[in-house]
Amino acid sequence: MPSLQGKIGLVTGAGSGIGREVALLMARDGANVVVADVADDHGIETVKMIQRTGGGAAFVHADVSDPAQVEAMVKFAVDTYGGLHLAVNNAGIGGPAALMGDYPVDGWDKVIGINLTGVFLCLRAELSVIAAGGGGSIVNISSILGFVGFGQSCAYVAAKHGVIGLTQNAALEYADKNVRVNSIHPGFIDTPLVAAGGIEKGGDLWDFIASKHAMNRWGTAAEVATPVVWLLSDEASFVTGSQYVVDGGYLAQ
């Protein structure tokens, strides 16, 4: 298993879904984890889950679209644990479903603000701190929709494409400072975000989406967390600026 013993990590959107699974696995591998989320009760529950297994964790409220809150989030990690080595920029939303010609501008602004500007703001705050501490690793959570289009989702698709560019640029700029930056691109994953979007598990739409994956099923958050933590670990020491697809064969079809 990859070892994160003695490392200090930060995960945004860690109150549920992929972010929670990543935080749990990081803690299991020895990292102290700062759990960040806008939903305080969910984030605090993630911290309790980690602490119940003997891991170290602390919660901080953070809206990643707010520069001041992002800076405070990173400062909290440093003040609480003495530094920062690892970060997973996972927080995101789905946004409205509409044709581009009808897409609401306020919906566009919100999706871009969280899913793209939020990743930029996190990178901006994290990179210098991680570099100053001797280096480390950052993983940005994008999507298979960072590579292809998807009807009635122009803001989400644009944001996730943009995450690739941010990842590659950060990797180029900070490689000589011993900071690695990569992105993970999940397929459709069974998370609370999906349920909140109105897709009924086992329903016709659920089955249709499953059929778009070569494995004919949805993925789990744990299946995404495992490669994320590998990228964070020293076992991926020569990997930076890369995009890793975790999609059950969606893009292979």
CA distance 56 to 60: 14
- Kind plus residue range of the DSSP H or E element containing 78: helix 67-81
* Closest by CA position to 252, among listed 215, 217, 210, 219: 215
Known catalytic residues are 156
The 3-state DSSP class for residue 246 equals: strand
Q: Give whole-number Cα distances, 75 to 15, 185, 195, in Å.
A: 20, 28, 33
CA distance 47 to 45: 5
| DSSP codes joined into one string, 176-230 | GGTEEEEEEEE-SEESHHHHHTT--TTSHHHHHHHHTSTTSS-EEHHHHHHHHHH
At 99, phi and psi to the nearest 5?
-60, 150
- Amino acid code (one letter) for 160: K
The 3-state DSSP class for residue 141 equals: strand
What's the token pair of residue 223?
């299946």
**115: exposed, middle or buried (Cβ count in 10 Å: 0-12, 13-18, 19+):** buried
